[in-house]
Amino acid sequence: MGETVIEKIIRNNVGHAVKPGDIVTVNVDRVMIHDIFIPFVAEKFEEMGFQKLWDPDKVVLIYDHLVPASQLDDTRHFHTGDAFAEKYGMKNVHRSDGICHQLMTEAGYVKPGNIVFGTDSHTTTYGCVGAFSSGIGYTEMASILGTGTMWIKVPETIKVVIDGELPENVMSKDVILRLIGDLGADGATYRALEFTGSAVKNMSVASRMTIANMAIEAGAKCALFTPDEKTAEYCEIELNDFQKSLVGDEDATYLKTVTYRAENLVPVLACPSQVDKIRDVSALEGTEIDQVFIGSCTNGRLEDLAAAAEVLKGKKVADYVKLIVTPASRKIYRQAIELGILDTLAEAGAMITHPGCGLCCGRAGGILTDGERVVATNNRNFLGRMGTSKVEIYLASPKTAAACAVAGKIVSPK
């Protein structure tokens, strides 16, 4: 019988065919731990009685939520992390290189067909290169560090087909927001999302990353894209037969299939305070805003910054409106320097911060207060995520966000 992509990845890992609902133990290819959770992982790991890591090279530790430190206790997380890495012989430590999910793919830690877990819900991101990746808590992470394995329930798959060509002002962010709106914030809970169609094939790996990143906002366990020549180029590898085989079979069983015509999609916003509260940008035009944030593991990549710079070139951010730009990684920051993107953004009046989670994780980087409204390119608009519970957060694409920054209010990108 035919298999979905997730079924193929799990079969390859466990050595036998699986079907949704099966509970299997997988061998983990790579794990990621970030700064907020490392003290808890370290504590649980030792409490569990492990003496060594199952494979130090497969563990990646990334400081991003707390960089730069903004509270007195933040640096304790770095010291705990450094001590843990030294004690157990970990070499893969990134102390200020950018957001964990960006680095995991960008630095080559994740390859197509891998099974990867991270102590962060947006670990679904690595599906952009055809890896099965998912977020877990620190207790499970501690147990993987010791055993290299984890039990999972094979998820059912929802197939998402997007055919055609996206309009100029529509980005992959608009696609995933629309999908979350249609599925609902719990519409894919426990399920895998599998993306296919000509619009998906035409997307850059970066655009796919945006979609995979936000799959969790529909509750999904993971999101999967079939590895292709773009994936190979991005990962700097030649795809092997297994990786090439990661296509959903014709006769595979899907829970359901959702189909979109790319031409019909328009710029959208997720309105306060639910990720699935999706409205067309055109329906909200004129709403005044106080701040715009362009960044995060969802939309802080080079193509996002370039799209924003194109909108902002020769223009100024509206008076009294703040534009905060946080590139997703050190590499992206440097590429954006080279292409003149950062200068264009700075000239327009943007504050360009060091790569990291920044405002998205709500600990610094542009926190707001009662009655303020922000248009942001990140992944969550939950109550209180960026300040008080009376802050309104609208999620948008970088193009929409940049257009809003110039106008000082919600407007559609041209």
Whichever of 78 and 260 has its CB closer to another protein, that residue is 78
Backbone angles phi, psi at 126, to 5 degrees: -70, -5
Residue (27 or 282) nearer to another protein, CB = 27
The tokens describing 22, both together, are: 């099966």
Nearer to another protein, 157 or 226 (CB): 157
Task: Give the residue from 385, 381, 414 showing the smallest Cα distance to 279.
Answer: 381
Give the nearest distance from C-beta 183 to another protein in angstroms. 12
CB 206 within 8 A of CB 106: no
Min CB(102)–another protein separation in Å: 15
Q: How far apart are CA 21 and CA 29, in angstroms?
A: 22
Distances (CA, A) of 71 to 66, 76, 198: 9, 10, 47
Q: Supply the minimum distance, in Å, between the C-beta of residue 166 and another protein.
A: 28
Q: Which is nearer to another protein, 130 or 356 (CB)?
A: 356
Residue 191: Cβ-neighbour burial (10 angstroms; 0-12, 13-18, 19+): buried
Q: At its nearest, how many Å lie between another protein and the CB of residue 96?
A: 5
The minimum distance between CB 155 and another protein, in angstroms, equals: 9
In the sheet that holds 30-34, the strands lie side by side as 93-94, 59-62, 30-34, 115-118, 132-135
Nearer to another protein, 168 or 320 (CB): 320
413 cis-preceded (ω within 30 degrees of 0): no
Q: Nearest approach, Cβ of 352 to another protein (angstroms)?
A: 6
Element (H, E) at 344: helix 341-348
In this structure, the strands spanning 23-27 and 149-153 are antiparallel
Name the residue nearer to another protein (CB basis): 142 or 235: 142
Smallest separation, CB 396 to another protein (Å): 18
Residue 362 identity? G
Least Å distance, CB 61 to another protein, is 12
Nearer Cβ to another protein (58/77): 77
Strand order of the β-sheet with 256-261 is 222-225, 192-196, 157-163, 256-261
- Pick 2 or 384: Cβ nearer another protein: 384
In the complex, minimum distance from the CB of residue 13 to another protein, in angstroms, rounded to a whole number: 18
Burial code of 53-90, b = ≥16 C-beta within 10 A, e = fewer? bbeeebbbbbbbbbbebeeeebeebbebbbebbeebeb
Quote the tokens at residue 49.
């009685």
Tally of helices (H runs) and strands (E runs) in the chain: 15, 18
Nearer to another protein, 97 or 106 (CB): 97
177, 178, 246 from 261: Cα distances, Å: 15, 12, 24
CB closer to another protein out of 216 and 235: 216
Least Å distance, CB 176 to another protein, is 16
Contact 20, 2 (CB under 8 A): no
